[in-house]
Chain A
Amino acid sequence: MSSAAHSVIEPSATSKRIAGGIVVLYAIVSMIPLFWIIATSFKTPPDSIAYPPKVLFTPSIEGYCNLFTTRTRQTADYINSLPPATSFCDETTRKRNMVIAGQSNFVPRFVNSLIIAFGSTFCAVFLGTLCAYGFSRFKVPLADDLLFFILSTRMMPPIAVAIPIYLMYRELGLSDTALGMILLYTAVNVSLAVWLLKGFIDEIPREYEEAAMIDGYSRLQSFWRVVLPQATTGIAATAIFCLIFAWNEYAFAALLTSGTAQTAPPFIPTIIGEGGQDWPAVAAGTTIFLVPILVFTILLRRQLLRGITFGAVRK
């Protein structure tokens, strides 16, 4: 974003201070739910449902224990007959008259999320860069129509897309597979990727490649050696968008996967305790799930800002 605007007409110091105050207040209020998720993940189950809600509490990792394990309630006699507890989680569980029955499915689901989100992002950016370059540099027949068609595929409600995909994947044996999900997310993301990247590549002067080609580079070489290095910012911005979509996606994952390839978003809401949701465990799962996105947001905020505003201006 350009920082040169309004250099002459400076707002007064007071108005700046008031503006700053309001924005900071909004930022704080909008962070409360996030703060509460993290705080709840370190509460014990009784603390988490205390009234009034507890802001100060003794931290506990019981929520994380419950996130990674499944437990069964047993009588005190049965528990006393077991060998002594070996871990902190074991001990906490037994204090609640329960024993750890086994591992929960959280870790495999998280790994699925990583594989599918990164896999599809890579494919979408790869295909998207090639396609965007093609549209940017060559005369493609019906280019405008094709570009509009590419973008309009994003207007379909996900459930509407899922109906035929469900049938198709059933015939192809792609239901509940990582490959199926990667293909689907790639297809959804590639439209955005083409659209964003075409803008970035349009900005790179053609003269660079032409000069390289006069120097003896082939078309492919000049694309690889000249255009790609120039487009890295754009590619990074696009990649973040694709990654955020694929990481957060819920509707397709809930309908087209059931276990083997299920990702974290449909899994986390199904973490329950003995009764309804085990909120500390849900909060723990949510926290772990949010960490990668928070890190990305903060590390890559510049590219991100550029991508959003850029995409908007282009469209």
Chain B
Amino acid sequence: MTDANASILERAAETAARATPAPVAARVRGLSDKAVAWLFIGPTMLLLLAINIFPLIWAIYLSFTNYRANRPNEPIKGVGLSNYRRILGDHDTWLAMQATAHFVFWTILLQMLIGFALAYLIDRKFRGHAFGTTIILVPMMLSPAVVGNFWRFLYQPQIGLFTYIVSFFTGIPPTEIDMLSSVTLAPWAIIIVDTWMWTPYVMLICLAGLRSIPDYIYEAAEVDRASNWRQFWSITLPMALPFIMLAVLFRGIENFKMFDMVNLLTGGGPGSTTEVASITLKREAFEKWRTGFSSAFAIILFVAVFGLANIYVKVLNRVKSR
């Protein structure tokens, strides 16, 4: 339908509408509210059913089989719970979980500390704070895959800018700083990049929290001559806490799922030092093609995120209502 047509129709409808009482008009030209509701909500639900729910059910079914996507001709055999038993009993699964936990814990801790500090400073409203905020935001807009890949260059021993700067300040020879090859440094290499990218996000949420604190509370504290330090601990922090906890939740879920940046930066190496859960899952599903097995792993991961997030939200609600 062209624009011209559309507007003619609309005009015709308008004239008709003016001539008829509203409820009748609605019934004649328009749809009932119920129909509109389904018309509006239906397509989205349908799409989610097709792309999210149906595949999820399929994955649950596959997780009880030995299906391999690279051998479509072989008959599918039910194996009961053995995939789940193998995964939960596998030492490597727990190593991957440990690597994931290490990554999630430290990224959240660092991002919360730096992010909150930045928000606190920006809340001082110095001149140009709006512009500064925009600049700080830039890293979180970038693609973790594309930029993560470039960090490999920054981390190169000797020629990498990061190693050069570190060696400049510490005096350690730049050939000795092996961010991606060393078993002790590699987990920190991915933590640094993630912190660089996502601290701004935490900062924004904390800032929203700080700005939600009404002025009169501070005014009352001034009247009571509470020190700045006291004000921070008894007003600022407790009142911003729900926001900080939200930021923890979002970053926690995101980093539990982490794949792209780590895959390009270390690929899980050296050895399996930085092999977070998603990388193990990718190897099982798309390199070894153990589709049934990896479906079971995927379900376990999903249940884990879902369960942890739900428990966390309960705690959060309790903090909020306090």
Contacts and interface: CB of A to CB of B under 8 A. Distances in A.
Interface residues of B, number: 116
B40 A164 contact: no
A53 B161 contact: yes
A279 B36 contact: no
A218 B164 contact: no
Contact of B62 (A8, A32, A164, A219): A164
State which size class the interface on A falls in. 35 or more
Interface in A278-303: 279, 282-283, 286, 289-290, 293-294, 296-298, 301
A114 interface: no
B18 interface: yes
Interface string A132-146: 011101101000001
B322 to A, nearest CB: 18
Contacts of A167: 58, 69, 291
Interface stretch (B84-92, B101-109, B147-155, B176-184): B147-155
A2 B136 contact: no
Nearest to B260: A250
Contact of B154 (A30, A36, A251, A290): A36
Q: For the complex, would chain A's binding face be called helix, strand, loop or mixed by DSSP majority?
A: helix
A33 B151 contact: yes
A157 B159 CA distance: 35
Given A164-B59, A165-B51, A20 B211 contact: no
A34 interface: yes
B43 A269 contact: no
A166 B58 CA distance: 11
Interface stretch (A80-88, A228-236, A306-314): A306-314
Given A53-B164, A309-B207, A159 B40 contact: no
Interface stretch (A89-97, A100-108, A209-217): A209-217
Nearest to B128: A20
B22 interface: yes
Contact of B25 (A218, A296, A304): A218
A28 B50 CA distance: 45
B136 A127 contact: no
B302 A160 contact: yes
Interface in B142-166: 142-147, 149-154, 158-161, 164
A128 B43 CA distance: 10
Contact of B139 (A19, A34, A133, A184): A34
Listed residue (B123, B124, B211) with the most chain A CB atoms within 10 angstroms of its CB = B124
A22 B282 CA distance: 41
B51 A308 contact: no
Contact of A308 (B129, B143, B205, B212): B205
Listed residue (A1, A183, A223) with the most chain B CB atoms within 10 angstroms of its CB = A1
A294 B205 CA distance: 21
B138 A297 contact: yes
B161 A36 contact: yes
Contacts of A157: 256-257, 259, 277-278, 281, 298, 301-302, 305
Interface string B258-294: 0110011000000000000110011001100001001
B31 interface: yes
A23 interface: yes
Given A26-B136, A158-B257, A219-B30, A190 B147 contact: no
B136 A30 contact: yes
B316 to A, nearest CB: 10
A217 B13 CA distance: 9
Contact of B44 (A127, A217, A251): A127
A3 to B, nearest CB: 9
Contacts of A290: 142-143, 146-147
A260 interface: no
Interface in A1-60: 1-2, 5-9, 11, 15-17, 19-20, 22-24, 26-27, 30-34, 36-37, 40, 49-53
Contacts of B48: 149-150, 153, 187, 190-191
Contacts of A150: 44, 48
Interface string B210-247: 01111100110010000000000000000000010011
Contact of A305 (B51, B54, B133, B212): B133
Interface in B180-208: 196, 199-201, 204-205, 207-208
Contacts of B134: 297-298, 301
B208 to A, nearest CB: 4
A178 interface: no
Given A6-B218, A134-B38, 8 more contacts: A16-B126, A20-B129, A23-B126, A34-B142, A134-B36, A250-B145, A309-B205, A312-B208
Interface of B: 10, 13-14, 17-18, 20, 22, 25-26, 29-31, 33-34, 36-41, 43-45, 47-48, 50-52, 54-56, 58-59, 62, 69, 114, 118, 121-129, 132-139, 141-147, 149-154, 158-161, 164, 174, 196, 199-201, 204-205, 207-208, 211-215, 218-219, 222, 243, 246-247, 250, 253, 256-257, 259-260, 263-264, 277-278, 281-282, 285-286, 291, 294-295, 298-299, 301-302, 305-306, 309
15 contacts: A11-B124, A53-B159, A149-B48, A153-B52, A157-B298, A158-B257, A159-B285, A159-B298, A163-B62, A183-B51, A218-B29, A219-B36, A223-B36, A255-B286, A304-B137
